[in-house]
Protein backbone atom coordinates (compact mmCIF):
# COMPACT_ATOMS: atom_id res chain seq x y z
CA UNK A 1 0.00 0.00 0.00
CA UNK A 2 1.40 3.37 -0.99
CA UNK A 3 1.53 6.37 1.34
CA UNK A 4 -1.28 8.04 -0.57
CA UNK A 5 -3.49 4.96 -0.28
CA UNK A 6 -2.63 4.62 3.40
CA UNK A 7 -3.53 8.27 4.01
CA UNK A 8 -6.87 7.93 2.20
CA UNK A 9 -7.79 4.79 4.13
CA UNK A 10 -6.82 6.54 7.36
CA UNK A 11 -9.16 9.40 6.53
CA UNK A 12 -11.95 6.96 5.72
CA UNK A 13 -11.44 5.11 8.99
CA UNK A 14 -11.06 8.29 11.04
CA UNK A 15 -14.75 8.65 11.99
CA UNK A 16 -14.83 5.13 13.44
CA UNK A 17 -11.70 5.85 15.50
CA UNK A 18 -13.13 9.16 16.72
CA UNK A 19 -16.33 7.39 17.72
CA UNK A 20 -14.21 5.18 19.97
CA UNK A 21 -11.79 7.77 21.30
CA UNK A 22 -13.96 10.84 21.94
CA UNK A 23 -16.45 9.27 24.41
CA UNK A 24 -13.53 7.73 26.34
CA UNK A 25 -11.77 11.10 26.37
CA UNK A 26 -14.99 12.72 27.62
CA UNK A 27 -15.20 10.15 30.44
CA UNK A 28 -11.60 10.80 31.47
CA UNK A 29 -12.27 14.55 31.35
CA UNK A 30 -15.39 14.13 33.46
CA UNK A 31 -13.46 12.15 36.07
CA UNK A 32 -11.03 15.05 36.45
CA UNK A 33 -13.89 17.20 37.73
CA UNK A 34 -15.24 14.49 40.06
CA UNK A 35 -14.04 13.78 43.57
CA UNK A 36 -12.61 10.38 42.63
CA UNK A 37 -10.49 9.79 45.75
CA UNK A 38 -13.35 10.60 48.10
CA UNK A 39 -15.71 8.38 46.15
CA UNK A 40 -13.25 5.47 46.24
CA UNK A 41 -13.29 5.65 50.03
CA UNK A 42 -17.04 5.20 50.24
CA UNK A 43 -18.12 1.77 51.54
CA UNK A 44 -20.50 1.14 48.64
CA UNK A 45 -17.75 1.81 46.11
CA UNK A 46 -15.23 -0.43 47.86
CA UNK A 47 -17.75 -3.23 48.21
CA UNK A 48 -18.62 -3.10 44.51
CA UNK A 49 -14.94 -3.18 43.48
CA UNK A 50 -13.96 -6.07 45.74
CA UNK A 51 -17.09 -8.04 44.94
CA UNK A 52 -16.34 -7.69 41.21
CA UNK A 53 -12.76 -8.83 41.71
CA UNK A 54 -13.69 -11.81 43.87
CA UNK A 55 -16.53 -13.04 41.70
CA UNK A 56 -14.76 -12.54 38.37
CA UNK A 57 -11.58 -14.31 39.49
CA UNK A 58 -13.67 -17.24 40.72
CA UNK A 59 -15.78 -17.27 37.57
CA UNK A 60 -12.70 -17.25 35.33
CA UNK A 61 -11.21 -20.18 37.22
CA UNK A 62 -14.47 -22.05 36.64
CA UNK A 63 -14.50 -21.02 32.96
CA UNK A 64 -11.01 -22.45 32.39
CA UNK A 65 -11.65 -25.68 34.30
CA UNK A 66 -14.99 -26.36 32.61
CA UNK A 67 -14.20 -24.83 29.23
CA UNK A 68 -10.85 -26.44 28.44
CA UNK A 69 -12.17 -30.02 28.05
CA UNK A 70 -15.07 -28.79 25.93
CA UNK A 71 -12.73 -26.72 23.76
CA UNK A 72 -10.45 -29.72 23.27
CA UNK A 73 -13.38 -31.92 22.30
CA UNK A 74 -14.88 -29.37 19.92
CA UNK A 75 -11.52 -28.68 18.25
CA UNK A 76 -10.14 -32.21 17.86
CA UNK A 77 -13.22 -34.39 17.45
CA UNK A 78 -14.65 -34.66 13.98
CA UNK A 79 -18.07 -35.82 15.15
CA UNK A 80 -21.32 -34.04 14.42
CA UNK A 81 -21.85 -33.63 18.15
CA UNK A 82 -18.59 -31.67 18.39
CA UNK A 83 -19.73 -29.41 15.55
CA UNK A 84 -23.06 -28.89 17.34
CA UNK A 85 -21.29 -28.02 20.59
CA UNK A 86 -18.99 -25.66 18.70
CA UNK A 87 -21.98 -23.75 17.33
CA UNK A 88 -23.91 -23.86 20.60
CA UNK A 89 -21.07 -22.28 22.59
CA UNK A 90 -21.56 -19.03 20.67
CA UNK A 91 -25.21 -18.69 21.66
CA UNK A 92 -24.62 -16.70 24.90
CA UNK A 93 -22.71 -14.11 22.84
CA UNK A 94 -25.74 -13.20 20.72
CA UNK A 95 -28.33 -13.85 23.42
CA UNK A 96 -29.84 -10.62 24.81
CA UNK A 97 -28.77 -10.10 28.45
CA UNK A 98 -32.37 -10.05 29.70
CA UNK A 99 -33.02 -13.39 27.99
CA UNK A 100 -29.86 -14.82 29.56
CA UNK A 101 -31.09 -13.71 33.00
CA UNK A 102 -34.53 -15.24 32.48
CA UNK A 103 -32.94 -18.47 31.23
CA UNK A 104 -30.80 -18.70 34.36
CA UNK A 105 -33.87 -18.04 36.50
CA UNK A 106 -35.76 -20.77 34.64
CA UNK A 107 -33.06 -23.25 35.58
CA UNK A 108 -31.77 -22.05 38.97
CA UNK A 109 -34.83 -20.14 40.24
CA UNK A 110 -37.09 -21.40 42.99
CA UNK A 111 -39.47 -22.93 40.45
CA UNK A 112 -36.71 -23.81 37.99
CA UNK A 113 -35.54 -27.18 36.78
CA UNK A 114 -32.72 -27.41 39.30
CA UNK A 115 -33.64 -24.55 41.60
CA UNK A 116 -36.73 -26.28 42.94
CA UNK A 117 -34.66 -29.22 44.19
CA UNK A 118 -32.02 -26.87 45.61
CA UNK A 119 -34.71 -24.86 47.38
CA UNK A 120 -36.11 -28.04 48.92
CA UNK A 121 -32.60 -28.81 50.20
CA UNK A 122 -32.36 -25.34 51.74
CA UNK A 123 -29.96 -23.99 49.12
CA UNK A 124 -30.74 -20.64 47.51
CA UNK A 125 -28.90 -19.60 44.37
CA UNK A 126 -30.84 -16.62 43.06
CA UNK A 127 -30.07 -13.15 44.45
CA UNK A 128 -26.80 -14.30 46.03
CA UNK A 129 -23.14 -13.88 45.14
CA UNK A 130 -23.29 -17.42 43.78
CA UNK A 131 -25.79 -16.19 41.19
CA UNK A 132 -23.34 -13.43 40.25
CA UNK A 133 -20.64 -16.00 39.54
CA UNK A 134 -23.00 -18.22 37.54
CA UNK A 135 -24.12 -15.27 35.40
CA UNK A 136 -20.51 -14.26 34.77
CA UNK A 137 -19.55 -17.79 33.77
CA UNK A 138 -22.57 -18.08 31.46
CA UNK A 139 -21.79 -14.90 29.50
CA UNK A 140 -17.98 -15.14 29.48
CA UNK A 141 -17.28 -18.80 28.70
CA UNK A 142 -17.93 -18.39 24.93
CA UNK A 143 -15.04 -15.91 24.70
CA UNK A 144 -12.67 -18.40 26.28
CA UNK A 145 -13.98 -21.29 24.19
CA UNK A 146 -13.66 -19.47 20.87
CA UNK A 147 -10.04 -18.53 21.48
CA UNK A 148 -9.09 -21.94 22.93
CA UNK A 149 -10.80 -23.86 20.11
CA UNK A 150 -9.03 -21.84 17.41
CA UNK A 151 -5.70 -22.28 19.20
CA UNK A 152 -6.09 -26.04 19.54
CA UNK A 153 -7.06 -26.37 15.89
CA UNK A 154 -3.83 -24.66 14.81
CA UNK A 155 -1.58 -27.10 16.68
CA UNK A 156 0.95 -28.87 14.47
CA UNK A 157 -0.51 -32.32 13.77
CA UNK A 158 2.89 -33.80 12.96
CA UNK A 159 3.98 -33.37 16.55
CA UNK A 160 0.76 -34.94 17.77
CA UNK A 161 1.21 -37.92 15.45
CA UNK A 162 4.85 -38.32 16.48
CA UNK A 163 3.92 -38.32 20.17
CA UNK A 164 1.26 -40.94 19.53
CA UNK A 165 3.73 -43.12 17.62
CA UNK A 166 6.16 -42.86 20.53
CA UNK A 167 3.52 -44.40 22.77
CA UNK A 168 2.00 -41.31 24.38
CA UNK A 169 -1.58 -41.83 25.55
CA UNK A 170 -4.46 -39.42 24.82
CA UNK A 171 -4.00 -37.58 28.12
CA UNK A 172 -0.24 -37.23 27.58
CA UNK A 173 -0.79 -35.95 24.04
CA UNK A 174 -3.26 -33.38 25.35
CA UNK A 175 -1.27 -32.08 28.31
CA UNK A 176 2.29 -32.44 27.00
CA UNK A 177 1.91 -31.75 23.29
CA UNK A 178 -1.33 -29.97 22.33
CA UNK A 179 -2.05 -27.58 25.19
CA UNK A 180 1.51 -26.22 25.57
CA UNK A 181 1.47 -25.24 21.89
CA UNK A 182 -1.74 -23.23 22.25
CA UNK A 183 -1.09 -21.66 25.65
CA UNK A 184 -1.09 -18.21 24.04
CA UNK A 185 -4.62 -18.70 22.70
CA UNK A 186 -5.78 -20.13 26.03
CA UNK A 187 -4.33 -17.18 27.91
CA UNK A 188 -5.86 -14.70 25.46
CA UNK A 189 -9.23 -16.40 25.87
CA UNK A 190 -8.89 -16.21 29.64
CA UNK A 191 -8.26 -12.46 29.48
CA UNK A 192 -11.17 -11.91 27.10
CA UNK A 193 -13.46 -13.91 29.34
CA UNK A 194 -12.30 -11.95 32.39
CA UNK A 195 -12.97 -8.65 30.63
CA UNK A 196 -16.45 -9.84 29.67
CA UNK A 197 -17.15 -11.02 33.23
CA UNK A 198 -16.06 -7.66 34.66
CA UNK A 199 -18.51 -5.84 32.41
CA UNK A 200 -21.45 -8.21 32.89
CA UNK A 201 -24.63 -6.33 33.75
CA UNK A 202 -27.95 -7.52 32.30
CA UNK A 203 -27.99 -11.20 33.25
CA UNK A 204 -26.62 -10.38 36.71
CA UNK A 205 -29.32 -7.77 37.33
CA UNK A 206 -32.08 -10.20 36.31
CA UNK A 207 -30.68 -13.28 38.03
CA UNK A 208 -28.82 -11.96 41.07
CA UNK A 209 -30.42 -8.58 41.74
CA UNK A 210 -28.68 -5.38 42.78
CA UNK A 211 -27.98 -5.66 46.51
CA UNK A 212 -25.13 -3.61 47.98
CA UNK A 213 -22.34 -5.78 49.36
CA UNK A 214 -23.94 -9.02 48.15
CA UNK A 215 -24.60 -8.87 44.42
CA UNK A 216 -23.82 -5.29 43.41
CA UNK A 217 -20.79 -5.53 41.13
CA UNK A 218 -19.20 -2.48 39.55
CA UNK A 219 -21.52 -2.34 36.50
CA UNK A 220 -24.56 -2.58 38.76
CA UNK A 221 -23.13 0.09 41.07
CA UNK A 222 -22.61 2.34 38.04
CA UNK A 223 -26.27 1.84 37.14
CA UNK A 224 -27.34 2.67 40.69
CA UNK A 225 -24.97 5.64 40.84
CA UNK A 226 -26.32 7.03 37.58
CA UNK A 227 -29.70 7.28 39.27
CA UNK A 228 -28.46 8.94 42.46
CA UNK A 229 -24.68 9.42 42.79
CA UNK A 230 -23.06 10.41 39.51
CA UNK A 231 -19.62 10.71 41.11
CA UNK A 232 -19.72 7.03 42.02
CA UNK A 233 -20.83 6.12 38.50
CA UNK A 234 -17.98 8.12 36.95
CA UNK A 235 -15.41 6.76 39.42
CA UNK A 236 -16.34 3.13 38.89
CA UNK A 237 -16.44 3.70 35.14
CA UNK A 238 -12.85 4.91 35.36
CA UNK A 239 -11.89 1.85 37.41
CA UNK A 240 -13.38 -0.46 34.78
CA UNK A 241 -11.74 1.56 32.00
CA UNK A 242 -8.38 1.25 33.73
CA UNK A 243 -8.81 -2.50 34.14
CA UNK A 244 -9.76 -2.84 30.48
CA UNK A 245 -6.63 -0.94 29.43
CA UNK A 246 -4.54 -3.13 31.75
CA UNK A 247 -5.98 -6.30 30.21
CA UNK A 248 -5.29 -5.08 26.67
CA UNK A 249 -1.73 -3.97 27.44
CA UNK A 250 -0.94 -7.15 29.37
CA UNK A 251 -2.32 -9.32 26.55
CA UNK A 252 -0.23 -7.49 23.94
CA UNK A 253 2.93 -7.72 26.05
CA UNK A 254 2.33 -11.43 26.57
CA UNK A 255 1.79 -11.99 22.84
CA UNK A 256 4.96 -10.05 22.03
CA UNK A 257 6.96 -12.04 24.60
CA UNK A 258 5.75 -15.41 23.34
CA UNK A 259 6.30 -14.37 19.71
CA UNK A 260 9.92 -13.51 20.42
Segments making up each domain of the chain, as ranges:
36-259
Q: How confident is the model at residue 155 (pLDDT cuts 50, 70, 90)?
A: confident
Q: Are 221 and 232 in contact (CB under 8 A)?
A: yes
* DSSP codes of every residue in 136-160: HHHHHHHHHHHHHHHHHHTS-HHHH
36-259: CATH number:
1.10.3720.10
- Closest by Cα among 37, 52, 49, 30 to 230: 30
Could you read off the pLDDT of 164-181 as tens digits, one per residue?
A: 666 777 777 777 788 888
pLDDT at 33: 65
**Cα–Cα distance for residue pair 19/221, rounded to 1 Å:** 25
Q: Are 199 and 223 in contact (CB under 8 A)?
A: no
CA distances from 75 to 4, 89, 102 (A): 43, 12, 30
Could you read off the pLDDT of 40-71 as tens digits, one per residue?
A: 888 899 999 999 999 999 999 999 999 999 99
- The DSSP call for residue 176 is I
Count CB neighbours of 216 within 10 A.
24
pLDDT at 34: 63
- The predicted model scores a pTM of 0.89
Amino acid sequence: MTRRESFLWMLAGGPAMLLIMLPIAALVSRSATSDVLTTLQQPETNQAIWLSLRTTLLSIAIVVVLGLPLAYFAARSGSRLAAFFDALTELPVVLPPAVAGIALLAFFGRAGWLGESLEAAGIQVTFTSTAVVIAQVFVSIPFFLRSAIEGIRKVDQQGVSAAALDGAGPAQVAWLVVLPQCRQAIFAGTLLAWARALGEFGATLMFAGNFVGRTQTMPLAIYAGFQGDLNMAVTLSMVLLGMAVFILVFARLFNHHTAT
